[in-house]
């Protein structure tokens, strides 16, 4: 339901284009209060990120298995018991990438493992919230595939057993992809 509300309730035409300022959780909360104070924070976050003029990714990270491990686990339950189950890793289980990010070629595939050196991993371990400058190229698969070189500002906060994070392309990221 929050996904639908985020799509419909926060269309770019209904969100004030001025005053976005620094893209942050505080800015999202401010816009939510102005535009639709009764909307859930999750719906507002999804909708506002999609309406932002700057390339931005919203993600939820929590412990999860790789897709192949999840499939194998389900299949093995039907067969014989296995003594050791795969170990869960911190993964981006839900992602929302806005159009400006897609336009310059940045994205974050669902279920990718969060880099150990990311502030997202640190916040998952210690709780609270934090900000850092990172690079999307830190995100790699076990087979070696990696995301493009793109400097991002990351804001992460622990919420229950998850971390919610905003990854905002730095101002000069458009130039990196235009070259």
Domains of the chain, first to last: 1-53 (no CATH), 54-178 (3.30.450.130)
pLDDT digits (tens, 9 = 90+) for 10-44: 444 555 554 556 889 999 998 888 888 888 989 99
pLDDT digits (tens, 9 = 90+) for 110-157: 899 999 999 999 999 999 999 999 999 999 988 889 999 999 999 999
Residue 19: Cβ-neighbour burial (10 angstroms; 0-12, 13-18, 19+): exposed
Return d(Cα 20, Cα 23) in angstroms, integer.
7
- Report the alpha-carbon angle 153-61-147, nearest 5: 55
């Amino acid at each position: 339901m929050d996904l639908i509300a985020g799509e419909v309730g926060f269309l770019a035409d209904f969100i004030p284009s001025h005053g976005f300022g620094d893209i942050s959780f505080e800015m999202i909360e401010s816009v939510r209060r102005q535009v639709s104070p009764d909307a859930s924070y999750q719906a507002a976050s999804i909708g506002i990120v999609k309406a932002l003029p700057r390339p931005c990714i919203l993600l939820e990270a929590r412990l999860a298995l790789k897709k192949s491990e999840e499939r194998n686990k389900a299949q093995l339950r039907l067969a014989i018991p296995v003594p050791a189950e795969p170990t869960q890793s911190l993964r981006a289980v839900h992602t929302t990438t806005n159009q400006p990010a897609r336009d310059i070629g940045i994205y974050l595939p669902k279920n990718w493992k969060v880099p150990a050196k990311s502030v997202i991993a640190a916040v998952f371990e210690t709780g609270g919230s934090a900000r850092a400058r990172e690079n999307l190229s830190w995100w790699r698969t076990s087979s070696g595939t990696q995301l493009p070189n793109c400097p991002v500002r990351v804001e992460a906060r622990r919420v229950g057993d998850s971390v919610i994070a905003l990854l905002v392309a730095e101002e000069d990221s458009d130039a990196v992809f235009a070259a």
